[in-house]
Every structure is written in structure tokens, then in C-alpha cells.
Amino acid sequence: MKRFSLNKIRKSIWFGIGFGMTAYFMAGCSDNDSSEYIELAAKITLTQSEYYNNEGETTLHPWTRDDKAGIFVIRDNFLQKINISPIQTQSPKSLFLLNFKAPKHSNATLVAFYPADANLIYEDDILKTTIPTTQTGTVAPLLIGQTTGRIDSYEGLHMELKHLFNTMYIPVWGSHAIAKAVIQANGGEAIAGETSIRLKDGVICASEKSVTVKFSTPLDCSAEIKLIPVMLAPVTLSQGYSVTIYDINGISYTVSSDKPITLTAGGKADADEARSPYVIETISFNIRVDNPSDGDNIWKNRKQAVITMINRQQPTIMGLQEAQPHQITYLAKQCPEYAWYGLGRDTGEAPPKTETYASEECMAIFFQTSIVEMLDKGTFWLSETPNIPSKGWDANYNRSCTWALFRQKTTGKRFYFFNTHLDNSGAVARKESIKLIINKIEEVNSEQLPVFLTADFNSDTDESCFNPLHQVMKDARATAPVTDQEATYNGYKTSGTRKLDHIFYDNGCVASIFQTLKENYGAPYISDHYPVRTCFVLF
């Protein structure tokens, strides 16, 4: 008989789900003591118990017409496996009828299970099944119950079926797309693979020390926390567990706990939250100036929806275009977890703190102070005289570019962030501005640290002015495995075709998710541009 590398748990854990329960039924008076095996009929009542589903909530499955349960009838080393159908439906409790061979009025051990086609065998007082070592992130329940009694008694036998496995739920988030997760016990206990249950004492054993959950479609954690359910053997993890998360770019991080944890049969275990420390979430957003000619879309009707967007998305860093002093003041007051930097494009001075209308635009950079700290900063103008406020080439307006050097507090990694707004009408200005930005990035970023560029470029990326930029930086919309091709300029209308807002990057990072934020945040439009969002992983 095959021997496993086994982990044992206390008997009470297994017996706690009803295994090993014994119900003896009196045979009554009979003058037939024959040991001859004959065809007998019996009735058995099976009640399904709740189990934890994919969402970590309890599910109680009612019997249906198409369901079948399986049952092992075990007597004196004689084994019969029978599939049975419920008499009652739409309830978790049902009567079942079955025929079997046994001496009349004899006792036997019965093991019932659902579903009937479960990978479950009986051999030498041991039940054997397999907990997959490669899973898909879905719960496949295996409910089992056991009893011993007179199988052809008038009263019939009753069993409660409970889930055999424990389900661990791993909460993941951090704006990246997950390809797989690997779970293992820190103490070396086996948690999956070939699993055996000894009927006489309820000892449970497994054979493999890790489980891998692989997703056919990457698990997108950008909008909310996602739970990864993992089916495990009900064992005690003496030194806790470790979970290694791999994103779609092959970058990994590990979350672990060294606290002992007992995985109970039919129970659930909540793992610690898994969030990559290397994720940077960026947004580029033309906030639209406070223009009284915008009618119903004036700033006072949009501003709370802008705050809702920021609170919902929680970007690490956000590059704003067209931000006016009173708009910046409002955002800073409503979002105190953010600091910001930027200079007025006309005066070259820091915008005043004011709640009354002020017209000068600023290419402001907002950043979460709990996640990053600003180490250096600067502003230059998109013109032939970049060190002073000025208008370049055929541009209609002064145009500036704001940059900052940041350090990620948890990892110590540094990176640059550039934010700008190219001219809306000057084609030469757009072309020359991109060349200037490339030169300034090379000048400032002499260490070739990761660098991000957010902007309202007033151009789509297939226009010729982007050719130099494509040679030195990557377009997040084009490279992120999870992406879209939505128009970003809406003009306060429901449809549009122009993609004017882009995020570029280079050096020591990958884009995992690109998203055009078109959802309703409490106003029909939060701007005449949709924000665009990219999640990056530093390495």
C-alpha cells in the first residue's frame, strides 16, 4: 500500500465535521440469523451542510433533480459503491433509496459523499482523494459524511455531509494583473496532493507541500480587492504560511505569516492582504479650466465628482493639466493625503492658495505622501527659452513641463515623474516640445532611473510628432497587457474618437494595466477629457 509523506492533525478536527460519528440502530427481534448476502433495500437521509464559496461566503446547496450522491457500503471487507438520487429537491435535506447486498438485519459502515463523481476511493479503512496542486481559483466542494448502523432498519440512517477541505482566501490588490499564486507551509507541512482519511480515528494526511493557483485570464486587481480561494488539506501549519504572487510580467512578491494556524475541515482561513510594494499607480488628467461658458459642466458642478474619482482610484501620483489655483486649493483641501508641486505657466510662480477664481494654469503633480516622498523638482517651458516663462514656436499659449524626483518609501526605489500639456493648435510647437522634453529627461535623469511622462499631448500617438518619443520611451496604452483603446477627449459628449491623453515610461518598470476612466463619479462628466490611468511595477 502506497505510503505518503504525511501530516497529522488532531482527531477532533476531523470528527468535528461528523466523520467517525457512530449511530447504532437496534436490529429488533428476528429469527433470521443467516449470513447469506441477499438484495436489500434501505433508506438514507442526507443533509448537506454549508461550505465556503469562491467569494468567501457560505453556500447551502439544495438537492436538485439532476444531483447524485455516492455511497460506500462497507461490511466485513466487502465494499459496494452505489450512486443514489434524491427523492426530495429544493432542500439541502433529502431522503434517498438504495439497493445493496448484505445479510439481513446486518450492520455496516456507510460513507456518503457529494458529488457522486468525486475523485474518492476506499481502501483498507482509508478514504483517498486528491486536492489539486494546480488550481484555478475556484472552490470545488467535496462533502462527506459517515455513520455505522443497521442499514435495512425501518428508521433508516441519517448523515450530515460536510466539506472535506479547508479554503484559504488570499486578498490581493495593488493595481496589477496576477498570473498565478503559490502557497506553501513555512513548517514544511504537506497541504495538498494525495490526501487520505483514516476512518477509525479521523487522521488526515496529505502528500504535497505547495499549491499553485493559475489563472487562464489575468486576475485584474486594479479596481478592487480580489479574493483568491485555495483548497487545502485540513492540517496545522506550525510556522504559518507564505504566499508568492506573480504578475503577468513575471515580477513576484511574497506575503507571509509565521503564526501557527489550524486549517479545519469545512472551515475557512483568511490570509494576510497581498499587495505589491513595487506598484506605482499613475493618472494623467486634464481637469479642464473653470470656464463659465461650459453650462451645466462648469467647475462647481464637477468638482465633487473629481474628488470621488480620486478617492476611488487612489493614485500614487497624478499629473494634472489646466489646473487653476482655486481648483488646486480645493483638491488639496479635500484630499489631505496628497501634497503637490507646480508653477504657474505664465508667471513661473507657485499658484496662490485661494478659493476664488484665478485664471493661471499649472501642470501640477499631486502625490500621496504616505507612499512617496519628493526629493527634487523643477519646471521648464516648452519654448526656445525653456528656463523662463515663454511661448514657443507657433504655440497659442505658454506651455510648461513640471517634473519631480520621488522615492518610494517602502522599497527605497527612486523614479522621475514628468507632466505637461502640449499646445492645442501649434503643430510645430508640439513636435519641438516633444524633442525638448526628451532632451530634458536625458539631462535630468542621468542615472537612468524609472521615468514616467503624463500629458494631454493634443495629438494621437500615431502622429509624426511622436516618432522621437517612441524611440526612447514606451506607450503604456500599447504595452500594458490589460488595456483599452478608448477615446480620451469627450468634449462633454457621450462619444469621441480622439485619444489625446497618454502615459509614457522607460527604465526599470513595466506597465501592467492601462485604463481610460469613463465611469460615472457623480456627474455626467468630470472634465472634457477622461482621466487615463496606468499601473506600473518597479523592478
CA contacts within 13 A on the Cβ side of 530: 25
Q: Is 358 in contact with 323 (CB distance < 8 Å)?
A: no
User: Which pLDDT score, from 0 to 100, does residue 175 have?
Assistant: 58
User: Which pLDDT score, from 0 to 100, does residue 10 have?
Assistant: 36
- Domains of the chain with bracketed CATH: 39-163 (2.60.40), 279-538 (3.60.10.10)
Under the phi-then-psi rule, with left for phi > 0, alpha for psi from -120 to 50, and beta for the rest, what region is 188? left
The yes-or-no verdict on residue 422 having pLDDT over 70 is yes
Distance between the two ends of the chain, CA-based, in angstroms?
Answer: 49
Q: What is the rounded average pLDDT of the residues 74-82?
A: 86
Q: What is the rounded average pLDDT of the residues 162-167?
A: 95
pLDDT digits 0-9 by tens, 354-407: 999 999 999 999 999 999 999 999 999 999 999 999 999 999 999 999 999 999
The yes-or-no verdict on residue 20 having pLDDT over 70 is no
User: Which pLDDT score, from 0 to 100, does residue 32 have?
Assistant: 44
In which band, very low, low, confident or very high, does the pLDDT at 174 lie, cut at 50, 70 and 90?
Answer: low
The yes-or-no verdict on residue 278 having pLDDT over 90 is no
Secondary structure element (H or E) that encloses residue 300, with its range? helix 299-313
The greatest distance separating any two alpha carbons of the chain, rounded to the nearest whole angstrom, comes to 114
Range in 216-220, 236-240, 387-391, 454-458 the model is least confident about: 216-220
- What would the DSSP string read from start to end of 8-65? ---HHHHHTTTTT----------S------EEEEEEEEEEEPPEE-TTS-EE-PPP-T
Amino acid at 144: I
The yes-or-no verdict on residue 9 having pLDDT over 70 is no
Beta-strand pair 166-173/274-275: parallel
In which band, very low, low, confident or very high, does the pLDDT at 347 lie, cut at 50, 70 and 90?
Answer: very high
